[in-house]
Amino acid sequence: MPDGYGVDFQGRVRLTVQDRRLKLPSGQTCLPQEPACARPLESLRGEKLWLELDSSLRMADLSAPLAALGQALKVGDTCCLAVADSKGRRCVPLRPFSGDEFSAWLDADKPLGKIRVIMRADGLEVVTDRGKVPGPDRFGPSLPSVGTRPDFEALDTVISRIKARFPDEPEAGLAASPSISVAQAARVLALLNGPGGCRFEETFLVYP
């Protein structure tokens, strides 16, 4: 992770993922809408939650855990996604979005910019309300992969320019294919949040 991206670490209650389930501090593991988890998840609302993820996980592994995490958050609240740079642990604000929530966000009047990154195996597609940021192939992604990895350096530059065009936009998000690794998704979220959280203070992740 680039040094200084995200905000100072501020989590108190640690959550993890185990066997595609959200693991609570008590050791209980939860799926969304599981009756036995309703009260434990609700009891976490308002707490400073932080999510620690194994970098080897794929987005496909996060569908149920992120849905369960949504039950532990008040409307509009975020969780701290723990990331690390060379100086230590950092925090990227994370709000889980279902596909339906993402569709509703796209259809809503605000935010105006609708800034999002679509992450696929062939590259990164950067989209605003004005359309897709053009790439070398008009039918391909905005930023094709470089070898086998996403072009994070170019994305950093593009997001910085977009923030300059939409200085008052508070949020941006990522929708990643199920095969994308958690480590790669976390880096994109950190780039959206920016150095010291100076870009988009609210970042969301659409789960498959």
Q: How confident is the model at residue 206 (pLDDT cuts 50, 70, 90)?
A: very high
Would you give the distance in Å from CA 150 to the centre of its chain? Answer: 16
Q: How confident is the model at residue 171 (pLDDT cuts 50, 70, 90)?
A: very high
pLDDT at 76: 87
Q: How far is CA 127 from CA 25, 56, 77, 117, 160, in A?
A: 37, 27, 24, 6, 14
Q: What is the mean pLDDT of residues 1-19?
A: 94
Q: How far is CA 27 from CA 35, 95, 152, in A?
A: 16, 22, 35
Cβ count near 137 (within 10 Å): 10
pLDDT at 82: 96
149, 160 in Cβ contact below 8 A?
A: no
- What string of H, E and C letters represents the secondary structure of the chain? CCCCEEEECCCCEEEEEECCEEECCCCCEECCCCHHHHHHHHCCCCCCEEECCCCCCEHHHHHHHHHHHHHCCCCCCCEEEEEEECCEEEEEEEEEECHHHHHHHHHCCCCCCCCEEEEECCEEEEEECCEECCCCCCCCCCEECECCECCHHHHHHHHHHHHHHCCCCCEEEEEECCCCEHHHHHHHHHHHHCECCCCCCEEEEECC
pLDDT at 1: 84
- pLDDT tens digits for 98-121? 999 999 999 999 898 999 999 999
Domain limits of the chain?
7-206
pLDDT at 187: 97
Q: What distance in Å separates the CA atoms of residue 120 and residue 123, rounded to the nearest whole number?
A: 5
Q: Kindly state the tokens that stand for 125.
A: 């597609």
Q: How confident is the model at residue 174 (pLDDT cuts 50, 70, 90)?
A: very high
pLDDT at 203: 97
- pLDDT tens digits for 42-55? 999 999 999 999 98
- pTM beyond cutoff 0.85: yes
